[in-house]
Amino acid sequence: MRPPAYQLLADELRADITSGRLRPGERLPPEPELCVRSGVSRSTVREALRLLSSQHLIVTTRGVTGGSFVAHPNAGQLSDALSTGLTLLTNSPAVGLTDLLELRRALEVPAAGLAAIRRTDAHLAEIRSALFNPEIDDFDVMLHAHSIFHSAVAKATENPLFELVTRPLYQVTLGEEVVDSLPDGYWAQIDADHRALLKHLTDRNAEEAVVTARRHLDYLSEVNQR
């Protein structure tokens, strides 16, 4: 079956954007021109633009100076899209928590070393703001803080691809069986690891940062295998 006309137009425009023929901030041709160019109705053009906008590829503004512009890529938004697919996968029998942790290890251990070298004071402040208190914070707060913490460390590598690729890994929701079987002292250990990592990043000690990141993942894998 042939895809609907709006989808074909969206595919065409998407290719213009991803190939760089249309640059971030650049204006797309106006609607009437797109109608003529692709021989479709105004409503089809609008449908295509809505689709691209929902994919965060374009931003549409109203008014005299309005129009559709190629969006500046945003790691956060791209991560959200990636995360939906990843969550689906990790909740399927094909991919398990073990696979997820293996990938986290492959990315986070070297990332910790880079972050130790490249971090700025602003990065450190962001990482510090994601510390929690296992004595008083509740489960959801700590889970959220954990995800912010690791995203902030990824960001401190100053390589936006680390942030993009790792962030969705922390948004994967844990199954109830995992949550219910967490050992005593789990959050205290996570907290201690996070504080140790922050210290090594502060000291610009790449070697120890890598060791701590690896140990953190070792602990998570150990808990997962119980």
Residues near Zn ion (CB under 5 A) are 146
- Whichever of 146 and 214 has its CB closer to Zn ion, that residue is 146
Answer for the pair 115, 123: CB distance below 8 angstroms, yes or no: yes
Q: Which residue is nearest to Zn ion (CB)?
A: 146
Q: What angle do the packed helices 121-128 and 186-202 form, to 10 degrees?
A: 170
- Whichever of 118 and 146 has its CB closer to Zn ion, that residue is 146
- Whichever of 46 and 144 has its CB closer to Zn ion, that residue is 144
Shortest Cβ 170–Zn ion spacing (Å): 8
Shortest Cβ 194–Zn ion spacing (Å): 6
Q: What angle do the packed helices 97-118 and 160-171 form, to 10 degrees?
A: 140
Sheet strands (E) in the chain = 58-61, 67-70
Listed residue (157, 50, 82) closest to 114, CA to CA: 157
- Whichever of 146 and 215 has its CB closer to Zn ion, that residue is 146
Shortest Cβ 150–Zn ion spacing (Å): 6
Q: In one letter, which amino acid is 120?
A: T
Shortest Cβ 78–Zn ion spacing (Å): 22
Listed residue (134, 141, 131) closest to 201, CA to CA: 131
DSSP annotation of 163: H
Shortest Cβ 191–Zn ion spacing (Å): 9
* Cα 216 from Cα 158, distance rounded (Å): 22
- Whichever of 144 and 146 has its CB closer to Zn ion, that residue is 146
